[in-house]
Structure 1
Amino acid sequence: MDDPALYWSAVRATRLRIADLLEQLTPAEWEQESLCQGWRVRDVAGHLALVPTVTTWNMIAAAPRARFSPDRINTALARRHGSRDPADLIATIRAHADTRRTAKALDTRNALFDAVVHGQDIALPLARQLPVPAEHSRDALLRVWSMGWPFHAERRLASFTLRATDTDWTVGDGPEITGPALALLLLSTGRTARLDALQGDGIDQLRTSPANH
């Protein structure tokens, strides 16, 4: 969205909804695997608590042990902070729900999609509900589709037309994949957990694609 105030209002609301969800979880649920490969629910919570306060120096310090891989750095920091007490993680997410910064090596334009997607990474495996306004998912899609690395959504899904049924968003040229913007956002970020919410000629091709097995 073009208005920074509206954008950060959406980020704040998403972070607070995630904190509300985390408060409901049992100790066993905190240890379950999330949709984010290799991350437990508590690791995702650790990442969300860290993003508004992390510095580039924190990332540099973690780099050697992570073999200078951005993905490994991200995972190492998420696991480190995810080891904190759940109440502390929840309090940190709440305290920084309004924070508009992150490490200089990162990009605040990623804050909304990061929170929306990671919220679903927590909620879906636990069969929990975490509603997302369609316009927030649409704005997250616009960012993911334009950014290339690490998802390369436009390249991966280049042979399909993606069309949201609950908001104004359509991209591509090919067999259609239609459904809620949130399900399309998860697909665009490499998650297949909500393929059941998508329809169209393209979804049958996608389900049989080797990349999705």
Structure 2
Amino acid sequence: MTSVRTLARLERLEFAELLDGLSPTQWAAPSGCAGWTVRDVAAHTVAYLGQSRITLTLNMIRHHGNVDGLNAEGLRRHAALDRFELAALMRDGSTPAGAGALYGGRVALIECLIHQQDIRRPLGLPRRLDPRRVRVCLDYARLSPVIGGRRRTRGVRLVATDMAWSAGAGPEVAGRGEALLSAMTGRAADVSGELSGDGVALLR
């Protein structure tokens, strides 16, 4: 059985490969994260996962738990890095460590999988997601209070149509695992056309 740490490492290496192949125009294009370019998403991911657990804790305390402030600081710290350096950092840090190693590497896995899609979708660069990675992320998104997947999907039953996975109780929300994960991570509006069922209108 492949470990979560291995899945996270593979995801990060594929993310680096994506970044290697982007043109300057694509790096400057809008991403799926409002107000952020593709470069911003890459820099954020590198900055966040590159922190040690102690540094992350201290930064959270300094910003009084304000995630937006923490993210903005990460972007400032990496503002001088060019696109080649960001891609190299993504590859060099492929093995989960520090903040990325939290929860057995699940933090690194979900961070990279979600943000890689935040880049790929607007650029029209689809890929076939590994169902093993998606399943781990789905389970973790529901458990993590930081991600808030359970809160966003409270009162509905989530049913994946491309793998054996379901969770929750209530009116059904059906769709591919990736679409369900997007809904759990605050991107329901972006994938509403990919979901079906009486529970879609109840997603937060």
Normalised to the residue count of structure 2, the TM-score between the two structures is 0.85
Select which of 139, 159, 176 maps to 1:180.
176
The answer for the alignment partner of 1:129 in structure 2 is 126
Q: 2 CA distance for matches of 1:79 and 1:51? A: 12
Select which of 98, 115, 118 maps to 1:118.
115
The answer for the alignment partner of 1:171 in structure 2 is 167
Contact persistence 2:12–2:109 (CA under 8 A)? no
Over 3 Å counting, the alpha-carbon distance change for 1:82 and 1:144 in structure 2 is farther
Deviation at 1:115, TM superposition (A): 0.9
Match runs of 1:67-146 below 5 Å: 69-81=66-78, 83-97=80-94, 99-103=95-99, 108-146=105-143
Overall identity of the aligned pairs, in %: 33
Q: 2 CA distance for matches of 1:103 and 1:177? A: 32
Deviation at 1:59, TM superposition (A): 6.4
Q: 2 CA distance for matches of 1:110 and 1:58? A: 13
Is there any run of 5+ residues in structure 2 with no aligned partner, and where?
A: none
Moved more, 15-24 or 178-187: 15-24
> Which digits, 9 at most, give the CA deviation of each residue in 1:110-165, with x for residues without a partner?
1111111011111111111233112211110100101123x322122112110111
Q: 2 CA distance for matches of 1:183 and 1:104? A: 23
Q: 1 CA distance for matches of 2:36 and 2:3? A: 30
Contact persistence 1:51–1:102 (CA under 8 A)? no
Match runs of 1:1-213 below 5 Å: 6-55=3-52, 56-57=54-55, 60=58, 64=62, 66=63, 69-81=66-78, 83-97=80-94, 99-103=95-99, 108-149=105-146, 151-191=147-187, 192-203=189-200, 205-206=201-202
Instruction: State the AA in 2 paired with 1:189.
Output: T
Deviation at 1:27, TM superposition (A): 1.1
Moved more, 75-84 or 103-112: 103-112
Give the number of equivalent residue pairs.
Answer: 201
Instruction: State the AA in 2 paired with 1:155.
Output: R
Deviation at 1:33, TM superposition (A): 2.4
Moved more, 77-86 or 137-146: 77-86
Instruction: State the AA in 1 paired with 2:194.
Output: A
What root-mean-square deviation, in Å, do the aligned CA atoms of Structure 1 and Structure 2 show?
2.6
Q: 1 CA distance for matches of 2:121 and 2:193? A: 13
Is there any run of 5+ residues in structure 1 with no aligned partner, and where?
A: none
Over 3 Å counting, the alpha-carbon distance change for 1:130 and 1:59 in structure 2 is farther
Normalised to the residue count of structure 1, the TM-score between the two structures is 0.82
Contact persistence 1:123–1:129 (CA under 8 A)? yes
